[in-house]
Amino acid sequence: MKFNIDEIRDHFPALQQKINGRPLIYLDSAASALREKGVIESIHQYYMFQASNVHRGAHHLSDVATTMYEEARKTTAQFINAKSPNEVVFTRGTTESLNLVARSYAAAFLNPEDEIVLTQMEHHSNIIPWQIVAKEKGFKIKVIPITDNGELDLSQLDDLFSSKVKLVSLTVCSNTLGTINPIEQVIARAHALGAKVVLDAAQSVSFIETDVQKWDCDFLALSGHKIFGPNGIGILYGKEELLNSMPPYQGGGSMISHVTFDESTYLDSPQRFEAGTPHVAGAIGLGKAFDFIQKVGIDTIGQHEEQLIKYATDRAKAIEGLRVIGEAHRKSSILSFVIEGIHPMDVGGLLDQYGIAVRVGQHCTQPLMDRLGLKHGTVRASFSVYNTEQEVDHFIDALEKVKGFF
């Protein structure tokens, strides 16, 4: 697909609406991206005509639904360059995927006095699951700090990485700062110790090529709603031998080999982690979201967003009293900022009157906010493939007007 911004925007019906009498300018894609038309149509098609369970029925509709479901798994595996579709487990999203690894891997294989390393910029979903299991099992959590400009302080790795470290879990891209982390460097250091690595790719998957074999990560989590797909669907990637060594996270139908009242045996991945009736429509929609990204081109999306964030950052810095939060050398299209003397909630509420959707608050990164001394969090504008420089101009003009109210 040749990049044409008008054609791209036509793929997103939500952009056709008005908010408070003004055309919607959607700058909250880091929270949830808008849904692509093909995704919506595929879900509608499934509920209208298949609406059957998968893997179980001895009838045509179930066969069709099963084929569509497993084709989505294949599409996902190809998109992230997994060795096999068996390495792709459908979950409710990044949060469930990380909890699955915490419960089925860390709780099963880590011992008291072992250590897990996180980073200071992690989302709560990549902190709390490890805390819960750490308290139960007695292992410790260590944290890679960040520099003042929002990058990982890699000078601390020698002190943090010891033979006690058994697992490292970090985000590819910060949802608050936009920082893109040097994951391959961290993975190499972790693997040199024999530690496993978990990647939170929720923020990066829509604009950075995700290659689990090149990165050599052990696990990777992502969510459909971040990449123009449905809510309530995501994946956990795991190396097949690891997944097959892990005990199930949940029990129920479809994940068993044999059941008696005394004991049960389980299928291999991915079925052993997909107990119960799956989110079939969500998986189908997720596959269509990956199809859309591939048609546009991941590099094309990345280049467009890179241009937008540079333009938006330059314009924002010209506003007196505005301070950009997070100025890493390599970052995504996330612009977090505070304006002196104005609460972020007030900024967000007033921007909404101009039809502009942004995020405000701590963005589920309270430890990061504490590190930066931002009690009330930030305003976060996040740009995607469907945004334009004209929308940036409207956004900046609205910010100037907001300042005028105070």
Residues known to be catalytic: 364
Neighbouring C-beta atoms of residue 146, cutoff 10 Å = 22
Own/partner pairs, 55-59, CB within 8 angstroms, 24+ separation: 55/254, 56/254
* E runs forming strands in 215-371: 219-223, 234-238, 256-259, 264-266, 322-325, 334-339, 356-357, 359-361
Beta strands 378-382; 359-361: pairing state: antiparallel
Q: Which two tokens stand for residue 55?
A: 């893997």
CA–CA dist 327, 332 (Å, integer): 10
Query: Taking the mean position of all CA atoms in its chain, how far away is CA 405?
Result: 35
| DSSP sequence for 297-308 | -HHHHHHHHHHH
Neighbouring-strand partners of residue 381: 335
SS3 labels along 112-124: CCCEEEEECCCCH
* E runs forming strands in 72-114: 88-91
Q: Which two tokens stand for residue 188?
A: 């190499």
Torsion of CA 109, 82, 364, 321, to 10 degrees: 140
For CA atoms 397, 400, 402, 405, the dihedral sign is: negative
